[in-house]
């Protein structure tokens, strides 16, 4: 049974689609789009019930992100990225959750997790400085998750390397306008953020490896299965779901446009076996991507629910398949886009935006196949993964 939030997205889908072009021109989500997402409860799916969330199965989260992205790729992308942050925030000190959600359970949190900053230890916490690109949805977020290297007290990384995820309120960082000038997913507003010497209390930080290994929940007394899943499965889930959803939306639009299209030869496209063959094959490939992505996170969830440990091979298999889901779906989109006729390339045709958004989605680091496939092969052979490969496995 579909989660109620998915049903709400289907109800407001036409409104989301109608706002997509405006979002692209704005270079961020419009206030109306954000209001629609808030009213539907998209970002609260993985949020603890204690703080006004649904504590939903990650399958429901992925399906919701796909539904949003099928109407507007940028809105789907922000839903997938911002939507996973309540899941991680639940695993930090509860004082932070109260700060973020007590007054407004619809408070959003942005992120770039890349460790582009230095967190120098001081009494009670850290002093953070750095600059981070790709903070999706930042204009509509009141907090930001940032990756940082623990410093040596002098603004340089300490050895051995230790990575923190730190959480800052909007008053402690600056969003740099003009830093999101891109060919696709323009409406995500994934701008740079800058921090200059902000104090971060210890309780607003967490060691990356605790979240990666799925061990953070136990440290704060969380018993729900949802919060025991590894970051390396949960964070990519929303992003890949957005890409798959974009491809689903593009397929539906393609089929609608081809229904009455007449080729230059005078033949109706619906009578062209080559175009229809490509459409059928693409539909199967995109559907396979959806099923495999949901299957991966569901299998991990079931393992945790049954009290069985998640091995490095389990995690590597899910990451391998998650990467493949994105590439398979976009490849299928390429096949139908090239058969959509010359009008598909016009700015007024939303199909070209879906196509651009999908390809930009593949540029995210979690969709780089080389490391994921390499690591998975090593894991299946029972060999040790180099430390550099374990970060997102």
SS3 (DSSP) at 125:
strand
| One-character DSSP codes across 294-340 | HHHHHHHHHHHHTTPPPPHHHHHHHHHHHHHHHHHHHHHHHHHHTTS
* C-alpha of 117 from chain center: 21
Two tokens, residue 192: 């740079």
Does 271 score more than 80 pLDDT? no
**Quick check: helix, strand or coil at residue 258?**
helix
Q: Which two tokens stand for residue 81?
A: 């990225």
- Sole residue written with tokens 């629910």: 305
Contact 192, 117 (CB under 8 A): no
In this structure, are residues 319 and 372 in contact, taking their beta carbons and an 8 Å threshold? yes
pLDDT of residue 265: 67
Residue with the two structure tokens 């959480």 = 167
Count other Cβ atoms within 10 Å, centred on residue 371. 17
Q: Is 148 helix (H, G, I), strand (E, B) or coil?
A: strand
Say which range, 15-19, 203-207, 270-274, 384-388, has the weakest mean pLDDT.
270-274
Nearest to 241 by CA among 74, 65, 393: 65
In the chain, what's the furthest Cα-to-Cα distance? 76
Does residue 279 register a pLDDT over 70? yes
Angle between helices 58-71 and 4-26 (to 10 degrees): 40
Give the whole-angstrom CA distance, residue 385 versus residue 374: 9
> Which residue ranges make up each domain of the chain?
4-101, 109-207, 229-389
CB 361 within 8 A of CB 73: yes
DSSP per residue, 156-214 = SB-SS--EEEEEEEGGG-EEETT----SS-GGG--EEEEEEEEEEEGGGEEEHHHHHTT
Residue closest to 166 by CA, chosen among 220, 129, 217, 123: 129
* Residues contacting residue 96 through CB under 8 Å, at least 6 positions apart: 89, 167, 203, 204
Q: Which helix (H) or strand (E) holds 82?
A: helix 73-82
Report the CATH number of the 229-389 domain.
1.20.140.10
- Is 391 a residue whose pLDDT tops 90? no
Dist CA 148 CA 145 (whole Å):
10
**Mean per-residue pLDDT for 250-263?**
89
SS3 content of the chain, % helix, strand, coil (to 5): 55, 15, 30
CATH fit for domain 4-101, picks 3.40.50.620, 1.10.10.10, 1.10.1760.20, 1.10.540.10: 1.10.540.10
pLDDT tens digits, one per residue of 149-193: 999 998 999 888 899 999 999 999 999 999 999 999 999 999 999
Residue 226's nearest CA partner among 290, 300, 293 is 300
Cα–Cα distance measured from residue 378 to residue 345, given in angstroms and rounded to the nearest whole number: 42
Q: What is the pLDDT of residues 186-233, one digit of tens each?
A: 999 999 999 999 999 999 999 999 998 888 998 888 999 999 999 999
Helix axes 73-82, 31-40, angle to 10 degrees: 50
Across the range 347-373, mean pLDDT stands at 97
Mean of all residue pLDDT scores within the chain: 95
Residue 215 confidence (pLDDT): 87
pTM tops 0.85: yes
Which structure tokens are listed for 223?
């018993």
Q: Which residues contact 385 (CB under 8 A, 6 or more apart)?
A: 312, 316, 375, 378, 379, 393
Which overall architecture, per CATH, does domain 109-207 show? Answer: Beta Barrel (2.40)
Residue listed under structure tokens 């639009």: 253
**Which residue in 240, 320, 339 sits closest to 281, CA to CA?**
339
Distance CA 366, CA 362 (A): 8
Helix (H, G, I), strand (E, B) or coil at 133: strand
Band of residue 1 on the pLDDT scale cut at 50, 70, 90: very low
């Amino acid at each position: 049974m579909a989660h109620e939030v998915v049903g709400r997205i289907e109800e407001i889908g036409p409104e989301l689609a109608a706002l997509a072009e405006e979002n692209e021109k704005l270079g961020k989500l419009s206030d109306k789009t954000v209001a629609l997402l808030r009213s539907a409860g998209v970002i609260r799916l993985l949020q603890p019930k204690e703080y006004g969330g649904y504590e939903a199965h990650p399958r429901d989260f992925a399906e919701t992100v796909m539904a949003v992205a099928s109407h507007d790729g940028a809105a789907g992308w922000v839903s997938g990225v911002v939507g996973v942050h309540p899941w991680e925030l639940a695993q930090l000190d509860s004082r932070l959750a109260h700060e973020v959600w007590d007054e407004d359970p619809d408070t959003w949190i942005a992120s770039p997790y890349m460790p582009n900053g230095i967190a120098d230890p001081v009494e009670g916490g850290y002093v953070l400085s750095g600059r981070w690109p790709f903070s999706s949805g930042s204009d509509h977020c009141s907090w930001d998750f940032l990756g940082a290297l623990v410093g040596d007290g002098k603004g340089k990384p300490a050895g051995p390397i230790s990575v923190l995820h730190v959480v800052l309120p909007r008053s402690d960082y600056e969003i740099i306008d003009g830093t999101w000038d891109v060919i696709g997913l323009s409406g995500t507003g994934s701008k740079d953020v800058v921090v200059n010497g902000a104090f971060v209390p210890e309780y607003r930080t967490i060691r990356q490896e605790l979240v990666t290994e799925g061990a953070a929940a136990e440290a704060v007394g969380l018993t729900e299965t949802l919060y025991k899943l590894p970051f390396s499965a949960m964070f990519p889930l929303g992003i890949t779901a957005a890409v798959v959803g974009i491809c689903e939306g593009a397929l539906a639009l393609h089929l609608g446009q081809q229904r009455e299209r007449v080729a230059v030869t005078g033949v109706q496209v619906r009578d062209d076996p080559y175009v229809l063959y490509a459409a059928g094959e693409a539909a199967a490939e995109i559907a396979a991507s959806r099923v495999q992505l949901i299957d991966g996170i569901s299998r991990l969830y079931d393992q945790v629910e049954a009290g069985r440990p998640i091995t490095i091979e389990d995690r590597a298999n899910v990451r391998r398949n998650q990467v493949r889901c994105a590439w398979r779906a976009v490849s299928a989109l390429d096949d139908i886009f090239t058969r959509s006729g010359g009008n598909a390339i016009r700015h007024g045709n939303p199909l070209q935006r879906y196509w651009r958004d999908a390809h930009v989605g593949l540029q995210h680091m979690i969709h780089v196949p080389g490391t994921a496939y390499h690591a998975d092969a090593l894991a299946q052979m029972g060999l040790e993964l180099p430390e550099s490969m374990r970060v997102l496995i």
